[in-house]
Amino acid sequence: MDPYVRQSRLKSFVEPIRAAWASEEFKRMSSSFEGFCQLLGAEGVCPYLETRDVQKIEDWATIALDDEGKAIQARMSSKFQVLPHDVVI
């Protein structure tokens, strides 16, 4: 592959991420644990786990997620599909 094409492709991938990490919104959101959880879509995980008495579960592989758990999982997965500069909280 032509080095110019390779460098251009890499730059088009890296530049939006670099810009997002430099944004004031990202800095603000990632400066606290609560904001970081919102960036990841994980703010509902602890309450969900608490209501399910997860400390009593011996083998997590035997437990299927209910609809609420699946919704939390889908929300978190969608956050990872979006580049940080596209995330609007």
24-53 pLDDT, tens digit per residue, is 888 888 899 999 888 888 889 999 999 998
Q: Which helix (H) or strand (E) holds 77?
A: helix 67-81
Residue 88 lies in a domain: no
Domain count, the chain: 1
Instruction: Provide the pLDDT confidence category of residue 89 given band limits of 50, 70 and 90.
Output: very low
Residue 54 has pLDDT above 70, yes or no: yes
Could you list the residue range(s) of the whole structural domain that residue 52 is in?
Answer: 3-83
Would you say residue 83 has pLDDT above 50? Answer: no
Entry pTM: 0.60
Distances in whole angstroms, Cα of residue 18 to Cα of each of 15, 37, 50, 78: 5, 20, 36, 20
At residue 71, the pLDDT reads: 94
In a domain, 10, yes or no: yes
